[in-house]
């Protein structure tokens, strides 16, 4: 049945759905973010939960203090190399299905501290990021927009078939390796299964 036909039925008060749509609709409207922030962007994340912006309108107001009760990690702020292993450890402790939003330039790429010896140049070097929200800092409305984008992504996930959601595939790695503090940098400096640094061609 085409979307147009279903819309026509809806206009006549007949609602058709599938188990997959119902399941994804419920999940997308009940997202529980992990309550932690790393720097200034976290203030905007906190503001999104206040009455003025009211993230509760999108079903994501239950910020949890434990990763074991959360399914969304909002990495909001500067990820220092000292903090990065702990972020990966928290990610590993979250149950599947789980999602990650990188909020702000720091979480995406290191932001204004990109050249700093102690700052990770993007959390996607270690964990999978579903939604990137640029800005320094992004406003709460940007976080709400990112959240609606994530909801659309969840609603589009398939429970079976060749396009099956990542968390349902047998090859899903489950826990990701946690980097260690080396003599000069994190070891490894990125998860090779997740990130490949761009190679710049050298001039002869």
Where along the sequence are the contacts to ligand SF4 (CB under 6 A)? 39-41, 77-78, 104-106, 111-112, 136-137
In the complex, least distance from residue 75 CB atom to ligand SF4, rounded to whole angstroms: 10
Neighbouring-strand partners of residue 80: 119
| C-alpha triplet 193, 199, 204: angle, nearest 5° | 155
In the complex, least distance from residue 121 CB atom to ligand SF4, rounded to whole angstroms: 12
| C-alpha triplet 100, 60, 86: angle, nearest 5° | 35
Residue 153 has phi, psi (to 5 degrees) of: -65, -45
In the complex, least distance from residue 55 CB atom to ligand SF4, rounded to whole angstroms: 18
Rg of the chain, C-alpha, whole Å? 19
In the complex, least distance from residue 123 CB atom to ligand SF4, rounded to whole angstroms: 12
CB nearer ligand SF4, residue 39 or residue 73: 39
Non-local (6+) Cβ contacts of 194 within 8 A are 124, 125, 126, 127, 128, 176
In the complex, least distance from residue 90 CB atom to ligand SF4, rounded to whole angstroms: 18
CB nearer ligand SF4, residue 104 or residue 146: 104
CB nearer ligand SF4, residue 136 or residue 152: 136
CB nearer ligand SF4, residue 41 or residue 154: 41
CB nearer ligand SF4, residue 24 or residue 76: 76
Q: Closest Cα to residue 59, out of 28, 89, 29?
A: 29
Give the span between the Cα atoms of 171 and 112, in whole angstroms: 36
Give the span between the Cα atoms of 45 and 77, in whole angstroms: 10
């Amino acid at each position: 049945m085409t979307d147009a036909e279903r819309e026509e039925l809806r206009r006549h008060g007949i609602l058709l759905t599938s188990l997959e749509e119902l399941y994804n609709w419920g999940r997308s409207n009940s997202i529980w973010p992990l309550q932690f922030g790393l720097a200034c962007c976290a203030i905007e994340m906190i503001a999104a939960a206040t009455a003025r912006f009211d993230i509760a309108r999108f079903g994501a107001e239950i910020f949890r203090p434990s990763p074991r009760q959360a399914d969304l990690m909002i990495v909001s702020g500067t990820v220092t190399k000292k903090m990065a292993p702990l972020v990966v450890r928290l990610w590993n402790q979250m149950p599947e299905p789980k999602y990650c939003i990188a909020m702000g330039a720091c979480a995406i790429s290191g932001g204004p501290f990109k050249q700093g010896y102690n700052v990770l140049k993007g959390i996607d070097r270690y964990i999978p990021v579903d939604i990137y929200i640029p800005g320094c800092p992004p406003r709460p409305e940007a976080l709400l927009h990112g959240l609606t984008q994530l909801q659309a992504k969840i609603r589009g996930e398939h429970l079976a078939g060749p396009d099956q959601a990542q968390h349902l595939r047998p090859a899903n790695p489950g826990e990701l390796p946690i980097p260690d503090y080396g003599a000069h940098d994190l070891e490894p400096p990125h998860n090779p299964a997740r990130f490949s640094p761009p190679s710049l061609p050298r001039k002869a």
